[in-house]
Amino acid sequence: MTNTILITGASSGIGRATARLFQSQGWNVVATMRSPEREADLSDLDRVLVARLDVTDEATVDAAVAQGLDHFGRIDVLLNNAGVGAYGPLEATPMDTVRRQFDTNVLGVLRVTKALIPHFRANRAGLIVNVSSMGGRIAFPLGALYHGTKFAVEGLSEALSFEMAAIGVRVKIVEPGMVRTDFVDRSLVFSNDERLTEYQPLVERLMASTAAGQASGSDPLAVAATILRAATDGSDQLRYVAGSDAEALLARRSAEGDADFQGSLRAMFGL
């Protein structure tokens, strides 16, 4: 029987690469996105259903899940990939931006997961893969919102793994480092107020560091390959690191401990 994966945020980057990879491996793919009418390439592939899903809109979540089940009869894997990034001094960040960040990255994961749990429970099988980030285990300056959401994804995923075991469902977390995508252009919201002069040197250093990291980041297909491994290795492994930068930084964080690791970041950013 052909397995089926439902992917959120499949219009670009990691989501799009994952949809293509799973389809090439013989899977059925429900590729969901906010604006499916703009999608052409995925729609032309065999065994791919493109559906509208906005993780902040419960009605579209329910409709996309129903559409996927009606089309393929079964969903075996959920990939919670959709996300946005909000950075900048908290003092300069509007509360609407705060709400959107958590509504998308945290409540969105919970909405889509809740919509599929009854199907998984009925089948006594299923897999939930949540895309976190190396930024779900380490934090960088001016990222209180983004890292706050990714730390939340780590915690909710780990907790959920226990209760899902009671119904035969596994939960896994994929933690990419920097990835060569258009995430910065499409999904990054940077709040700043140049009148808050104390923060501006830090803003400049972070933007320079982000640009350099983006240019040397992993190919989205490499992250997709890690997601495929998580979905198919049959193990109970919880976390999967994707990208040499993530592997190096997380290993360093583990070896150095809080004081030394944070001290090195303070030095890097001139704090």
Q: Is the Cβ–Cβ distance between 163 and 120 less than 8 Å?
A: no
Which residue in 166, 230, 232, 32 sits closest to 112, CA to CA? Answer: 32
Is residue 85 within a helix (H) or strand (E), and if so which, with residue range? strand 85-87
Distance CA 218, CA 136 (A): 17
Distances (CA, A) of 191 to 18, 72, 125, 173, 232: 30, 42, 42, 28, 40
Is residue 130 within a helix (H) or strand (E), and if so which, with residue range? strand 126-131
Distance CA 147, CA 187 (A): 15
- Active-site positions read 132, 146, 150
What helix, strand, coil percent values describe the chain, rounded to 5?
55, 15, 25
Structure tokens given for 96: 């609407």
